[in-house]
């Protein structure tokens, strides 16, 4: 608990202060974002849960194929082995956090419940038990003590920093995360449980960016950077001189990237407000490269369902505007007409003669 014990030593760099000001400006718009996407929020949250499930499974090194991971994350699947049971547990835990994360109870019991729910029916997870020597009358005896007591002390320091010292929320969460890593409170999967706790604390601090984007996907994408920042944060931890600013700044940047994506989605939503759903897909394809994939459409149209995208692709295919290019996981689509012709109404495939006529018309 060396970070939280010495949290009053924290100094903030100009970069950190600037990033924090941007972050809280975005956070102030969270309710606006929910209003803009109110008709689609349930679908957005379902996709976020699916991504959190997939990338948490990767972080835990579960031996499940990519295709099977996607199926489990999106469908009601029957588990075939213990790793798949854990993945299904992950999905249920993320559902709970999305629905009740703002009410997360900062207690050793609540953290234990999340850990147990994650590995339920597979492996027993709990607080480490240490054997310590204790004076009893004139004798020294060995007794077993749970690290849960230390965890309770840690969380009391967290609450003190939050309520009495009024330390900024991301900084306290970062310091607790580092303390949990170094103190190894749990007998198994301590690193993952520490990360899950960090996620819950950010959610409780009302950073609702994680309704729209996957925390675990972003963490996985920046895994090397997180390892480097965590290593820097734990240096000097034993002596109480750990510097967590680099790690804190990385967590803030992760959220800023998420909010920037939401801002882009808001602009697209306003642009597409007067278009129907299928026209939105067609308008999106018009802006894309000649070869494109359905996954790229999903990324650009996060509020649209897969069935809507499929209907749009089927319609464009029947109108000879696009055709499939390959099959299987690497399948893509190819535009057969110029971008400006992918609109509602009659279209035809351009030939060399058509191009020549267009050039002549332009010279008139």
Give residue limits of the domains in the chain: 12-125+189-269, 274-363
Q: Does the pLDDT value for residue 268 go beyond 80?
A: no
The pTM (predicted TM-score) of the whole model is 0.74
Long-range CB contacts (< 8 A, 24+ apart) of 42-45?
Answer: 43/303, 43/305, 44/211, 44/212, 44/302, 44/303, 45/98, 45/211
For 274-363, CATH gives: 1.10.10.10
pLDDT of residue 285: 85
Q: Does the pLDDT value for residue 354 go beyond 50?
A: no
pLDDT of residue 307: 83
pLDDT of residue 274: 42
pLDDT of residue 239: 80
pLDDT of residue 196: 97
pLDDT of residue 141: 77
Q: Does the pLDDT value for residue 358 go beyond 80?
A: no
Mean pLDDT over 110-139 rounds to 89
The pLDDT tens digits of the residues spanning 142-178 come to 788 999 999 999 999 999 999 999 999 999 999 999 9
Decide: helix, strand or coil at residue 54.
helix
Q: Give 87-128 as a DSSP string.
A: HHHHHHHHHHHHHHGGG---SHHHHHHHHHHHTTTT----B-
55 or 31, which is more confident: 55
∠ Cα 170 62 70 (to 5°): 85
How much of the chain, in percent, has pLDDT values that exceed 90?
55
Residue 261: how many CB atoms within 10 A of its CB?
Answer: 15
CA–CA dist 250, 256 (Å, integer):
10
Q: Does the pLDDT value for residue 108 go beyond 70?
A: yes
The pLDDT tens digits of the residues spanning 276-306 come to 677 778 888 888 888 989 888 888 888 788 8
Q: Among residues 230, 205, 208, 206, which one has the least CA distance to residue 219? A: 230
The pLDDT tens digits of the residues spanning 60-102 come to 999 999 999 999 999 989 999 999 999 999 999 999 999 988 8
How much of the chain, in percent, has pLDDT values that exceed 70?
90
Decide: helix, strand or coil at residue 87.
helix
258 or 136, which is more confident: 258
Decide: helix, strand or coil at residue 291.
strand
pLDDT of residue 188: 94
Residue 351: how many CB atoms within 10 A of its CB?
Answer: 9
287 or 192, which is more confident: 192
270 or 310, which is more confident: 310
Q: What is the mean pLDDT of the chain?
A: 86
Range of weakest confidence among 3-7, 33-37, 242-246, 350-354:
350-354
Q: Does the pLDDT value for residue 27 go beyond 80?
A: yes
- 94 to 47, 50, 75, 100, 114: CA distances (angstroms): 11, 9, 15, 10, 10
pLDDT-based confidence at residue 213 (cuts at 50, 70, 90): very high
Greatest Cα pair distance in the chain: 109
Range of weakest confidence among 9-13, 66-70, 235-239, 271-275:
271-275
pLDDT of residue 154: 94
CA–CA dist 196, 122 (Å, integer):
18
Decide: helix, strand or coil at residue 145.
strand
pLDDT of residue 170: 95
For the ranges 39-43, 130-134, 258-262, the maximum mean pLDDT occurs at 258-262
Mean pLDDT over 252-260 rounds to 95
């Amino acid at each position: 608990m060396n970070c939280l014990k010495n949290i009053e030593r924290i100094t903030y760099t100009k970069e950190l202060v600037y990033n924090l000001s941007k972050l809280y400006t975005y956070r102030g718009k969270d309710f606006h974002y929910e209003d803009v996407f109110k008709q689609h929020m349930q679908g957005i949250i379902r996709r976020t849960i699916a991504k959190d499930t997939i990338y948490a499974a990767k972080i835990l090194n579960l031996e499940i194929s990519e295709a099977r991971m996607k199926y489990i994350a999106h469908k009601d699947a029957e588990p075939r082995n213990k790793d798949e049971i854990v993945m299904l547990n992950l999905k249920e835990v993320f559902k709970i956090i999305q629905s009740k994360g703002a009410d997360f109870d900062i207690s050793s019991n609540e953290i234990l419940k999340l850990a147990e729910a994650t590995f339920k029916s597979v492996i027993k997870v709990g607080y480490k038990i240490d054997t310590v020597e204790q004076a009893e009358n004139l004798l020294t005896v060995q007794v077993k003590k749970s690290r849960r007591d230390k965890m309770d002390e840690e969380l009391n320091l967290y609450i003190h920093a939050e309520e009495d010292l009024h330390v900024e929320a991301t900084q306290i969460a970062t310091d607790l995360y580092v303390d949990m890593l170094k103190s190894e409170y749990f007998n198994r999967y301590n690193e993952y449980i520490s990360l899950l706790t960090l996620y819950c604390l950010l959610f409780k601090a009302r950073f609702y960016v994680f309704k729209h984007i996957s925390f675990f996907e972003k963490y996985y994408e920046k895994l090397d950077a997180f390892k480097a920042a965590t290593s820097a944060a734990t240096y000097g931890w034993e002596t109480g001189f750990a510097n967590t600013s680099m790690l804190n700044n990385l967590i803030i940047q992760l959220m800023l990237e998420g909010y920037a994506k939401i801002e882009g989605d808001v602009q697209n939503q306003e642009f597409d407000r007067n278009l129907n759903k299928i026209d939105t897909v067609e308008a999106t394809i018009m802006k894309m490269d000649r070869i494109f994939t359905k996954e790229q459409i999903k990324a650009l149209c996060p509020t649209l369902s897969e069935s809507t995208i499929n209907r749009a692709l089927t319609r464009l295919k029947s109108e000879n505007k696009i055709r499939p290019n390959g099959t299987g996981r690497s399948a893509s689509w190819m535009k057969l007409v110029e971008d400006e012709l992918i609109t509602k109404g009659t279209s035809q495939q351009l030939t060399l003669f058509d191009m020549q006529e267009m050039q002549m018309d332009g010279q008139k």
